[in-house]
Amino acid sequence: MTILEVNSLTKQFGGLTANKDITMTVEEGKITAVIGPNGAGKTTFFNMITGVYQPTSGDIKLDGKSIVGLKPDEVAKKGISRTFQNIRLFGEMSVIENVLVGMHTHLKTNLLGILLNLPFTKKEEASAEKEAYRLLEYFELDHLLNEKANNLSYGAQRKLEIARALATKPKLLLLDEPAAGMNPKETRELTEVIKRMGQEFNVTVILIEHDMKLVMEISEHIVVLDHGEKIAEGNPEEIRTNPKVIEAYLGSAAVH
C-alpha cells in the first residue's frame, strides 16, 4: 500500500532549480533511501515533504490526500515527522523533556488544565512520561533521562533526536543523514535500531544518507537524485550496478 506519492515535484529558487520533476512512491512499512552526491537536492526534497518549502509545481500526497500548502506543524499533525542534518535539540532541557516536547502534537491538555492541575491533565502527563521513558529505553538512553541534552555524546544526541521525532507518533519518519558524525560502533547500533523501528513503532522510514554500507544494508527501495533530478530507483542490487548511479558518484570514467 502506498503511503506517500510524489508527482512531478519541482522547486525553484529564482533562476536555480533545486528539484526538477521528481516522481516517486513510498510503500507503507518499507525503508526507502534517497541518495545522491552533495548538492543533489535531497534536503530540499525533504523540506518540501515536511512543509518547510512549498513546491513551485507538482503534488505530494499522504494516504492519497494532498499536503501541498500545509505548514510544517500542520504536516506534523497529519503524521509526518523528521530529523535534521544538524541536530536540533533543546540543549538546556533534559533528555526526557526533549521527548515530551515531541508529544505535544497529540496531547489534549491545554493551558487551563495545567494551571488548574485537573485530574485529566495529571493522568495524561503521567501517561506521556511513561511513553517517553519507553522511547528512551528503546534507544538505550533511559539512564540519561535527567541529563541535559547538551551533555550527551554526539551519537546519543542523534538517537535522542530520533526518539523525539517518534514521540509525535508519525506514520512517516524522515531521517536526514542520521549516521552523520557517528563512529563505526554508533553507526552499527543505529543500523540495527532503524531496521527494527518500522515494526516496533508502526512507522514508514525514508532516509537521506551518505553511508552507502548503511543504505545498502537496511533499504528495501532506493531513489537516486543528481543535480535535482531522479536518475534511478530500484532495490539495492539494481542501484549498486546502475551505470548512471556509478557515473554520478564516481564520474563518467568509472563506467567506461
CA dihedral over 87, 91, 95, 97, signed as positive or negative: negative
| Calpha distance 12→17 (Å, rounded) | 4
At 170 the pLDDT is 94
- Residue 48 contacts residue 55 (beta carbons within 8 Å): yes
- Grid cell, residue 229, equals 533530478
Determine how many CB atoms are found less than 10 A away from the CB of residue 110.
10
Q: Which residue bears the cell 525553484? A: 12
Nearest to 177 by CA among 161, 163, 164: 161
> Quick check: pTM over 0.85?
yes
Q: Which residues contact 171 (CB under 8 A, 6 or more apart)?
A: 3, 62, 63, 79, 80, 203, 204
pLDDT in tens, the chain (256 residues): 999 999 999 999 998 999 999 999 999 999 999 999 988 999 999 999 999 999 999 999 999 999 999 999 999 999 999 998 778 888 889 999 999 888 766 555 544 444 446 555 666 676 778 888 899 999 999 999 899 999 998 889 999 999 999 998 999 999 999 998 888 998 998 899 999 988 889 999 999 998 889 999 999 999 999 999 999 999 999 999 999 998 888 664 443 3
Q: Name residue 226's amino acid.
A: D
d(CA 239, CA 248): 12
Amino acid type, 222: I
- Cell numbers representing residue 103 in the block: 508529544
Q: Which amino acid is at 235?
A: N
Contact (CB, 8 A) for 187 and 215: no
pLDDT for 131: 86
Residue 189 near residue 61, CB atoms below 8 Å? no
The residues that bridge with 232 in the sheet, in sequence order, are 224
pLDDT computed for residue 122 by the predictor? 62
Instruction: Identify the structural domains of the chain with CATH numbers, from first to last.
Output: 1-79+170-256 (3.40.50.300), 88-169 (3.40.50.300)
H or E segment to which residue 55 belongs? none
